[in-house]
Structure 1
């Protein structure tokens, strides 16, 4: 109700909140390297002291993402939610447990009990891999046969609906 989830939980938003609170990513770094610096500052691996500002940004982001995922859980009741993309995979180990806790706290009890939240395993190019699988899925749906060359391509449902509306407007005007 207060804006796009990306504006709160996206990498750019996280880095902006960190900078506004006094965090300093290495100068001249790209977004990915700056996010790595944020995670390292919040959770130093060498036993050093965590930057409380960076840790707070991660905690806030986990809460925002958890609330957003809870809406998806309530609406669609999925069995599994996979967090992916370069930022999600980079952040996942550092805050996935917190995202789960916030998701379950904000979601309805029944659908929350049935959903699993995990890191995707296809890597940062998951969207590309998924798109590449679409033609294969269509091929297998046809039983492993090629579509006949002379067969008409079915009109997408959105296009058929739009055509029907245009015809109604022309006939009623």
Structure 2
């Protein structure tokens, strides 16, 4: 598996807003070459692994999506993709909010000389429990281990596909 590292949510990133309230994580990897945010978004949301998630969203949540829609999101021609809506975006980051408003999905690219750092992170906004206390919810807590492994696999899959698509990446 390509080198994927757990990393602190970068200060001043779009995801940082959520790191102090609820749950937020961040994973990163380095790749040779200058990778744009648009390239990263398009590759990330069209990997075989993410297509499995898209299949599930189509049949369970009635939120279908296509590779063309992923490319439109990457090219900033769309603000919605599958179960997510763009919450914020800049030249190096995109922050997406799920249809229930409880989770965030975040991608970021940073460039350094001949390399790009690719970041993927998630956030879960606490809801209110029956007692009125702030809570992430039983289901999320129960699936946290799976979520961490899945996040690493998603970023790894995107990195692998970038390697395959760019002749300068090695």
- Tell me if both proteins adopt one fold, taking TM over 0.5 as the criterion: no
TM-score normalised by the chain length of structure 1: 0.25
The structure showing larger relative contact order (alpha-carbon pairs under 8 Å, at least 6 residues apart) is: 2
Larger strand share, 1 or 2: 2
Give the helix-richer structure, 1 or 2. Answer: 1
TM-score (norm 2): 0.25
